[in-house]
Amino acid sequence: MNGYEKVYYTATIEDAWVKTQKQGFVYVTKDENGALVILSSACTHLGCSVEPATEAQRNRKKDLFFWCPCHGAEFDIVGASVGMELPGLERYQPLIIEGNVYVDIATPKK
């Protein structure tokens, strides 16, 4: 892994009688202890999709890994805000079953 992986998903969300298709992506990273971190791509400002920082952005701010093109929020490799005063990116609990990683995209943990 080169810092993070952008992983796309398609999921079916079901309530009592309605099925909704959801598509999106998460970022898979590791914390300083090597533990798997699954980050939501939804910016904690107003919900735009967070993108990987460009090389020029990373040269300007070393701990910057993700940024939001809507209003410029910036986040580090584990989703903490390093720009605007915002909560960090939401995390999903990774479920590791027989060597495969699953993510419940309906329930990010705070």
Binding residues for ligand FES, rule: CB under 6 A, are 43, 45-48, 68, 70-73
Minimum distance from residue 106 beta carbon to ligand FES (Å):
21
CB of 104 to ligand FES, least distance (A): 24
Instruction: Indicate the residue among 13 and 46 with the shorter CB distance to ligand FES.
Output: 46
User: Which residue, 25 or 94, is less far from ligand FES as judged by CB?
Assistant: 25
Give the whole-angstrom CA distance, residue 3 versus residue 73. 19
CB of 55 to ligand FES, least distance (A): 21
Cα 39 from Cα 104, distance rounded (Å): 12
Toward ligand FES, which CB reaches closer, 45 or 61? 45
b/e per residue, 13-49, with b = 16+ CB within 10 A?
eeeeeeeeeeeebbbbbeeeeeeebbbbbbbbbeeee
Nearer to ligand FES, 3 or 72 (CB): 72
Instruction: Give the C-alpha separation, 31 to 87, whole Å.
Output: 17
